[in-house]
């Protein structure tokens, strides 16, 4: 009741009304801050005892239009544990664009300015999602260690992804979940931020973090057939041949 009176008599901020998002953050012990010129917001604090940063605003990737939600967390994962899951339409779009650049002679190699999402689709082996009847129609995955990628997706993460198909990820918006340089990242198109969407995104992210840490805990153990499918450092594909489409 006291909080309601405070909000009623306090001067209301100009710009978009994100009070419900600010309340959502405060209830979870997170700090909410508007970005400059009200182009978005940043939420920071801890999830599961680890610092997390949640951002919403203009997209940082050209394949996302409108507004983008981003979440990242430092996990100190092994450097060669590089895993990527993305919405299937986005994978097909990125593969098509990359293939056309090569076949039309626009470039002879993918340089390091290309996002990891694009480079990894060429570099790494695909994760076999054939056992996931629902997920395989909506998502695709690649990994430097495909078996580790499969272990990452299984269980809680697969369940959260399937659940989000009825809400946050309905109609297959551009969506990326990955581990890179020891960190975990999530990004997706989100035009209108609201507590329900943020809760869904955080649930996916927390499941991904938990599974990544579990996979990392067994990384390198004897008997684990997690042989790398490609170099973890970017290397040229060659100067003459375009990348081959994956089946």
Q: What is the CA radius of gyration of the chain?
A: 20
Per the structure, the count of domains in the chain is 1
From residue 20, how far is each of 194, 196, 246 by CA, in Å?
7, 10, 44
Q: Residue 243: inside a domain, yes or no?
A: no
Give tens-digit pLDDT for 128-185.
999 999 999 999 999 999 999 999 999 999 999 999 999 999 999 999 999 999 999 9
Locate 54 and state its tokens: 């949640």
Query: Rounded CA gap, 61 and 188, in Å?
Result: 10
pLDDT band at 104 (very low <50, low <70, confident <90, very high): low
Q: For residue 119, what are the domain limits?
A: 74-217
Q: Residue 241: inside a domain, yes or no?
A: no
* Adjacency order of strands within the sheet including 83-87: 31-34, 41-47, 50-57, 68-74, 183-189, 175-180, 83-87, 139-143, 125-126
Q: Residue 12: inside a domain, yes or no?
A: no
Q: Which of 181, 185, 182, 164 is nearest to 173 (CA)?
A: 164
Q: Residue 51: inside a domain, yes or no?
A: no
- Main-chain phi, psi angles of 107, to 5 degrees: -160, 160
Q: Residue 68: inside a domain, yes or no?
A: no
Residue 234, pLDDT above cutoff 50: no
Residue 16, pLDDT above cutoff 60: yes
Q: Which of 243, 94, 219, 50 is nearest to 149 (CA)?
A: 219
Q: Residue 164: inside a domain, yes or no?
A: yes
The pLDDT of residue 243 is: 37
Beta carbons within 8 Å of 240's beta carbon, 6+ residues apart: 108
Q: Residue 198: inside a domain, yes or no?
A: yes
Q: Residue 4: inside a domain, yes or no?
A: no
């Amino acid at each position: 009741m006291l909080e309601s009176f405070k909000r009623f008599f306090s001067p209301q901020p100009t710009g978009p009304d994100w009070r419900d998002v600010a309340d959502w953050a405060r209830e979870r012990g997170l700090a909410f801050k508007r970005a400059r010129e009200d182009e978005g917001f940043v939420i920071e604090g801890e999830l599961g005892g680890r610092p997390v940063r949640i951002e919403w605003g203009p997209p940082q990737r050209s394949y996302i239009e409108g507004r983008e939600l981003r979440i990242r967390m430092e996990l100190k994962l092994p450097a060669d544990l590089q895993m990527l899951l993305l919405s299937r339409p986005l994978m097909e779009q990125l593969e098509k664009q990359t293939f056309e650049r090569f076949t039309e002679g626009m470039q002879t190699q993918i340089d390091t300015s290309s996002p990891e999402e694009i480079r990894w689709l060429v570099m790494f082996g695909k994760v076999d999602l054939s056992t996931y009847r629902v997920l395989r129609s909506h998502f695709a995955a690649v990994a430097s260690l495909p078996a580790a990628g499969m272990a990452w997706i299984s269980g809680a993460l697969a369940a959260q992804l399937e659940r989000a198909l009825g809400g946050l990820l309905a109609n297959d918006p551009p969506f990326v979940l990955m581990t890179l340089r020891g960190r975990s990242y999530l990004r997706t198109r989100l035009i209108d931020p609201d507590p329900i969407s943020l809760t869904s995104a955080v649930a996916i992210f927390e499941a991904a973090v938990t599974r990544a840490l579990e996979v990392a805990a067994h990384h390198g153990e004897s008997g684990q057939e997690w042989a790398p499918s490609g170099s973890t450092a970017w290397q040229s594909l060659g100067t003459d041949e375009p990348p081959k489409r994956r089946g």
